[in-house]
Structure 1
Amino acid sequence: MSEITPQGVPEIVAVIGGGTMGAGIVQQFLMAGARVVLVEATVEAAEAGRGRVVAGLDKARERGKIDLEPALYLARMDAVTDTAAIPAEAGIVIEAVPEKPELKIAVLTAAEAAVGEETVLASNTSSLSVTELAAALKRPHRFLGTHFFNPVPASKLVEIVTVPETDPAVLESVRGWVGALGKTEIVVRDAPGFATSRLGVMLGLEAIRMVEEGVASPADIDTAMELGYRHPMGPLKLTDLVGLDVRLAIAEYLATELGDRFTPPELLRRKVAEGRLGRKSGEGFHIWDEGDKA
């Protein structure tokens, strides 16, 4: 596709996981001109991931974010069901599977076996220990965390998480690629919750406790932070967007690592148990229209 050439990003990128985050990362690299291989566990999941990318590109076209037809970008995307199909010459492989350490380690080690020694491996984890993931790899010096934010195409931040083994040259390459995607990076050393999840989850948990105690309604708490502190989205609306089940899992992990201040409120546990998971289920702390569901 001569009309589209890589603009400061690797020519070939692989993303493992085609959910909301993975599909957003795929879309971002396609828009920057890369050829992208999306890896999923099944044919059905791969097609669902492709569908999310298609929907994202269509929306980008409607909003004037891309000038060419989405089909031209999609022609540079392959959806496969085996990490062995990742080209050995891929510049970076980004893992974007659910926040389960054993799953992430499995896909990262499989990816490492499929690619060349110069390929960078990255995890899109929002809270898990990057150091523990690195320990499972043969080339930890070519590994780091790349924490993208939801929705990926609209979010400006990428949190890069390093471990002591991370090669400085790898870090600089990734910083350059993030900039080429039109985003701003921050660099943090590996610690529970990094910088963003640690602060964001704490604010969200306190907002949930305020609802639990009857201090104010979810809508008023969100409005307070949006208008009073200029947050683009209130903490409860953001919790709905992220998913209450995801927030609960991260809070439980942080409570284990950092102490009781991250203990999840009973209200959060109850909503998750009832299936009120936020936008993706239609209800969390707010009611979401059918068209808003992920």
Structure 2
Amino acid sequence: MSATLSPALPETVAVIGGGTMGAGIVQQFLACGSSAVLVEATEEAARAGRERVAAGLARARELGKLAVEPADCLERLVTVLDAAQIPAAAGLVVEAVPERADLKAAVLAAAERAVGQGAVLATNTSSLSVSELAAVLSRPGRFLGMHFFNPVPASKLVEIVRAPETDPEVVEAARGWARALGKTEVVVRDAPGFATSRLGVALGLEAIRMVEEEVASPADIDTAMELGYRHPMGPLRLTDLVGLDVRLAIAEYLAAELGERFEPPQLLRRMVAEGRLGRKSGQGFHTWDEE
């Protein structure tokens, strides 16, 4: 393995997208010693992304999970407004923009043009084809999926998705980086929904059907899975946390790729149309006003 692909974290990492997931990824790399470049489309979005990172670092410090002062981490964070401004020295670029293949492809192609030949590009997609995204790149062997989970600092998992084009040494480097971030990695072949989204969405959709059929209340369905199967969070509460609109989009994609067993229930479609999106709107299968 070349020095560029050391299992030690890259000195400089770029993250495209400063929403909840992107900010969490930035926070984790900063906490583990890397410098980070956060790419956002506007000054306002960049400022909001930086504030999310700062708030996350402050919470981690309060909980005793950050050994250094948040200000020391933030000194290693810069924001830019275009993927073309990512420094050539960045060893890893993680794309964390919304689940639109065209948008992801565009920012990944721009990032590839900005960085050096040895850099690795990764997508945080939870369901889209890594191989199809690789098709827009001139160096597809340096590209793979690194699917982080929300909230990134607390989650223990990184799902590494290898496309047929991905070089084996890139997969091994990503495994080392996941461990250096304090995570456990799983490696899966590029397939619709990978391992986590495919199973998680299947469970979540069936739970929604149970609500639709009045089998049990959302609270009781979640409690059944938490206590009966030791799930840390029930499938409906998790759907609220992910966002009903996000879960609907993934379900529609999986239904198109894998068949009608992933067809979204009408209840899910209706709740999204009504703006009941879960935690981010304050109301989903649960009420989040006080959380």
TM-score range, shorter chain: over 0.9
Corresponding position: 1:168 with 2:177: no
Following TM superposition, by how much is the alpha carbon of 1:87 offset from its aligned partner in structure 2, in angstroms?
1.1
Following TM superposition, by how much is the alpha carbon of 1:16 offset from its aligned partner in structure 2, in angstroms?
0.1
1:39 matched to which residue of 2? 39
Following TM superposition, by how much is the alpha carbon of 1:89 offset from its aligned partner in structure 2, in angstroms?
1.3
Corresponding position: 1:109 with 2:99: no
1:99 is paired with a residue of what secondary structure? Answer: coil
Question: What are the residue-to-residue correspondences of 1:1-294 with 2, within 5 Å?
Answer: 8-290=8-290, 292=291
Which AA in structure 2 matches 1:151?
A: P
2:3 matched to which residue of 1? none
Measured in 2, the distance between the counterparts of 1:8 and 1:140 equals: 22
Q: Deviations over 1:247-285 (max 9, x none)?
A: 000000000000000000000000000000000000000
Measured in 2, the distance between the counterparts of 1:220 and 1:239 equals: 15
Measured in 1, the distance between the counterparts of 2:159 and 2:84 equals: 28
2:178 is paired with a residue of what secondary structure? Answer: helix
Following TM superposition, by how much is the alpha carbon of 1:162 offset from its aligned partner in structure 2, in angstroms?
0.4
Which AA in structure 2 matches 1:82?
A: D
Measured in 2, the distance between the counterparts of 1:83 and 1:247 equals: 27
Measured in 2, the distance between the counterparts of 1:193 and 1:207 equals: 18
Number of positions where the alignment pairs a residue of Structure 1 with one of Structure 2: 285
Which AA in structure 2 matches 1:158?
A: V
Measured in 2, the distance between the counterparts of 1:115 and 1:11 equals: 14
Measured in 1, the distance between the counterparts of 2:265 and 2:218 equals: 15
Following TM superposition, by how much is the alpha carbon of 1:8 offset from its aligned partner in structure 2, in angstroms?
2.7
Measured in 2, the distance between the counterparts of 1:93 and 1:67 equals: 25
2:146 is paired with a residue of what secondary structure? Answer: strand
1:280 is paired with a residue of what secondary structure? Answer: helix
Measured in 2, the distance between the counterparts of 1:15 and 1:190 equals: 22
Measured in 2, the distance between the counterparts of 1:206 and 1:151 equals: 24
Following TM superposition, by how much is the alpha carbon of 1:165 offset from its aligned partner in structure 2, in angstroms?
1.2
TM-score by length of 1: 0.96
Among the aligned pairs, what percent are the same residue?
77
TM-score by length of 2: 0.97
Following TM superposition, by how much is the alpha carbon of 1:50 offset from its aligned partner in structure 2, in angstroms?
0.4
Measured in 1, the distance between the counterparts of 2:211 and 2:246 equals: 19
Q: Which runs of 4+ in 1 moved over 3 A?
A: none
1:277 is paired with a residue of what secondary structure? Answer: coil
Consecutive unaligned residues in structure 1, runs of 5 or more: 1-6
